[in-house]
Structure 1
Amino acid sequence: MTLEDIKSPFDGAVIGQVPVASLKDVDGYLSRAEVGAKLWRNTPAHVRSAIILKAATIAEENIEELAQIISGETGKSIVEARAEASRCGEIFRLSSFEGSQLYGSTLPLDANKGTGLDKLGFTLRQPVGIVVAISPFNYPGLLVLHKIGPALAVGNAVVLKPARTTPLTAFAIAKYLKEAGLPDGVLQVITGSGSVLGDALVSDPRVRKVSFTGSTVTGTHIASIAGAKKLSLELGSSCPVIVMDDADIEYAADAVALGGYINAGQVCISVQRVIVHEKVMANFLDALKPRVEAIKVGDPKSADTKVGTLISEAEAIRVEKSIATAVSEGATLLTGGARTGAIVMPAIVCGVNPKSAFAQDELFGPAIAVSSTTGITDAISIANDSPYGLGAGVFTKNMDNSIQAARELDAGSIHINWTPLWRADLMPYGGLKSSGIGKEGVRSTVNEMTEEKTIILHGRSW
């Protein structure tokens, strides 16, 4: 295979090389995965668990190495990269535990009319076999581990296709697993063209499960060609946050200044739409603007940088143009929006039409769209007027508002008095509508990565 340079989006420096696979290589990866799947399925759960726990220890011993790799290939700040690297060991540990706890249930067959006590029924879970995991660029450690950790823990073989721009983190994680004793063929990392390799991998009948995180367009394409297999699709979003007139404005401004700009807004659960009650709009913007302007942007390796680059200059140009288009359509740029290379200054865009592309389309950049509302029912209607439904947040001191929002907002995760940019690795995570199919979160992923069989033992009456 030929080698491809991986470059820093901040300064273009080459930080590593990876082999580039072609279509003809796919069969070899899947053939090795077939062998690995058979071996790993027949490995006792306590042995699998011990290997994954050892990988957790190795990852925790190499947090700084992993953080430098993450920051280098994504352009995110080293502070954020260290936070991501420090969670990797914990996901290994959660996976090790949950993957060893594949409980079934007994079936009360004698409750079936005409059935006596001569039959016993129960359910049994087993690994699906071969899993294809396709991960995005924005969290190359965490979002890889949320797929491969549970998949490996329950006994599957995995072919991992990381984002082409950020494969080095995936190779580092695979190295830790290899050092921990993971057998050959159980985890393979394949790099190269997503459209070429991805189509071949997800459509192959030997693959029993596809786990994909990325755009709704690509996820829909995968669903159309995958065939009869299990799918988990974590797709696009345009997450809303509602700020009611009884909210703690300073607290809400603090939260939005974090939730809209971490990782340069390149997070599926970033705050994109802020729907503010008209009575407190001026106070909210007065509180938010200085907080956003105080965000230190620049060299990702600098200890005081809070927000680094977008993944590429092309993406930064796209975000810059989206902001300019919103302004040309009547919105107001309150602050930010200037671009230098792959860096876009954190932006607040006010007076945004909730039906405009700037509010409706996933931005994936460091800018928020602020619109006004007259009350909780109107705010929920605006929030739900989106093809997406991944996460939402509501700031209010009113219990009635909180319960109405919990009942009526169409989102996979709803945060009362915080933004959607909060996630515990153990909780279910996934969206409604065009935001995807299935759930991640380690325990949920264990279920997604296994299949359930019903067993009936037929005895003779005595």
Structure 2
Amino acid sequence: MLDLDTTHPYFIGGEPLTPNRGMAVLDKYRGVPVTRVARADAKAVSQAICRAAAAAQEMRALDVYQRQSILRKLASLVKQRREELAELICVEAGKPIVVARAEVQRAVDTFKSAAEACGQVSGEVLPMDLTERGSQHVGMTMRVPVGPCALITPFNFPLNLVVHKVAPAIAAGCPFVLKPSPQTPLCAIALGQMLRETALPPGSWSIVTCSNEDAAALVEDDRIRLLSFTGSDLVGWQLKAKAAKKKVVLELGGNAAVIVDRDWDMADALERITFGAFYQSGQSCISVQRIIVHDDVYEHFRHRFVEGARRLKMGDPREEETIIGPMISEQAAERLESRVNAAVEQGGRVLCGGGRKGAMFEPTVLEAVPEACELVSEEAFGPVAVLSRFREFKHALAEVNRSRFGLQAGVFTRDMVKAHQAWDELEVGAVLIGEIPSWRADHMPYGGVKDSGIGREGPRYAMEAMTELRLMVVRR
């Protein structure tokens, strides 16, 4: 229930607590408070860590079928509440309702994928007699839970990115403390209500809505064995430096590029790239930001792409036809406006958009922007795309690689030699052929290189980080 008389709880060891009126949650389109969430302090965070540490053995003792049962129940509960959750996403993140519904379905799929992964991440029999020294010995490996995990999530996918950390933690048998974004805590709190309906061991999970300062123990406390963080590269690398001996998984940002070769169906490329650049107002770390188009089709692509961007409907995210809703805050929109203005001062040309009204920012296309400009070199995280052109494919690959980021890249080509060349040479976590870098299936290994992070998400791959390999050798 979203009203200002309601204060939603945080959870310590699975118990809901509302010791204060906490902080207001804004309707991002209207810019007004709609409800309140209790605020956890540093003492509450410490209590959450204590409960997680105490529950580690019981959590580890859950059989595979028990973990699967919990995950499947969560998938079912999310599905039952799908419209309510979509409305929460729409309000707290400003995400258009159609996209919000898709996020809820992805969360269902992620829980199901984690349930399947429970039986896939296991050990193996290792032959030891590859040398004379190993004769009469046999080795066996198993994966054991790493222990209590700290999970820190961003605002842009307030449900599914939470699930991408919670689900593999449950599948791996790890207790956890989740800190959702203070801008979008409502979906995480709703998930907490669902977690209370499962057979998870008492004390094995907490959800703390707190400040970054009060969350410091999640990074620094030695009882936390793994930190999984999704957010900005600046913050992510700072947290890694403070994390000392614990394992760290970072899913950070990017300035994703797509190459459009002359042999691809332009109507198809335009449709996919328009979506990839502007869906949820470009607030995705794999939003299409840099579009590198072959000289022979550049003029045609530019004209049609600008036309398409101008046609996108802006407005109230509750309306079914809306494609462009608000950015997460007026401050975020002001930051993007400043970067667009700086790009123009450095020689860039605005082909459409560039206007801002509060947190609403028009879908914007530029060309002739210098590579050193922040709108190209940094993560825009808004509805902005920059066009450039190439003549030789190797030069397009080099342009993609001239970035400190390396999350995903898209390549629209029918030439499989070029496709393999891109796969070989692009310094990214994934190369998508005939597809935008914004595409993601929730079970795939997802993550980047360079300043885009370390480690991989996707339930099976996150479980590998949340477990340790343990070997037993038997002399026969």
Alignment TM-score, normalising by the size of structure 1: 0.96
CA apart distance, 1:190? 0.6
**1:161 pairs with one of 166, 175, 179:** 179
Matched, 1:320 2:369: no
Give the alignment of 1:359-438 within 5 angstroms.
359-438=376-455
CA apart distance, 1:246? 2.6
Matched, 1:207 2:224: yes
Rounded Cα–Cα distance in structure 2 between residues aligned with 1:320 and 1:102: 46
CA apart distance, 1:115? 3.6
Structure 1 residues without counterparts, runs of 5 or longer:
none
Matched, 1:140 2:185: no
C-alpha RMSD over aligned residues: 1.3
Query: Relative to structure 1, is the Cα distance of residues 410 and 176 closer, same or farther in structure 2, using a 3 angstrom cutoff?
Result: same
Rounded Cα–Cα distance in structure 1 between residues aligned with 2:451 and 2:193: 35
Count of matched residue positions in the alignment of Structure 1 and Structure 2:
457
Residue 79 of structure 2: aligned partner: 60
Rounded Cα–Cα distance in structure 2 between residues aligned with 1:321 and 1:61: 43
Give the alignment of 1:197-346 within 5 angstroms.
197-346=214-363
Rounded Cα–Cα distance in structure 2 between residues aligned with 1:16 and 1:367: 31
Matched, 1:173 2:201: no
CA apart distance, 1:375? 1.5
Rounded Cα–Cα distance in structure 2 between residues aligned with 1:397 and 1:120: 48
1:382-439: per-residue Cα shift (whole Å, max 9, x none)? Answer: 1100000001111222233222212111111111111101111111101011100000
Rounded Cα–Cα distance in structure 2 between residues aligned with 1:43 and 1:257: 46
Rounded Cα–Cα distance in structure 2 between residues aligned with 1:278 and 1:318: 32
Q: Does the 8 Å contact 2:120/2:460 carry over to 1?
A: no
Matched, 1:190 2:244: no
- The 4+ residue runs of structure 1 with deviation greater than 4 A are none
Matched, 1:47 2:58: no
Query: Relative to structure 1, is the Cα distance of residues 367 and 53 closer, same or farther in structure 2, using a 3 angstrom cutoff?
Result: same
**1:92 pairs with one of 87, 92, 111:** 111
User: Which letter maps to 2:68?
Assistant: S
What is the identity percentage for the equivalent residue pairs of Structure 1 and Structure 2?
38
Rounded Cα–Cα distance in structure 1 between residues aligned with 2:458 and 2:224: 22
Residue 130 of structure 2: aligned partner: 111
Rounded Cα–Cα distance in structure 2 between residues aligned with 1:398 and 1:110: 45
Alignment TM-score, normalising by the size of structure 2: 0.93
Rounded Cα–Cα distance in structure 2 between residues aligned with 1:418 and 1:115: 48
CA apart distance, 1:112? 3.3
Q: Does the 8 Å contact 1:393/1:417 carry over to 2?
A: yes
SS of 2:456 mapped into structure 1 = coil
CA apart distance, 1:86? 1.6
Structure 2 residues without counterparts, runs of 5 or longer:
1-18
Q: Does the 8 Å contact 1:275/1:373 carry over to 2?
A: yes
**2:469 pairs with one of 444, 452, 455:** 452
Q: Does the 8 Å contact 2:45/2:215 carry over to 1?
A: no
Residue 4 of structure 2: aligned partner: none
Rounded Cα–Cα distance in structure 1 between residues aligned with 2:324 and 2:191: 24
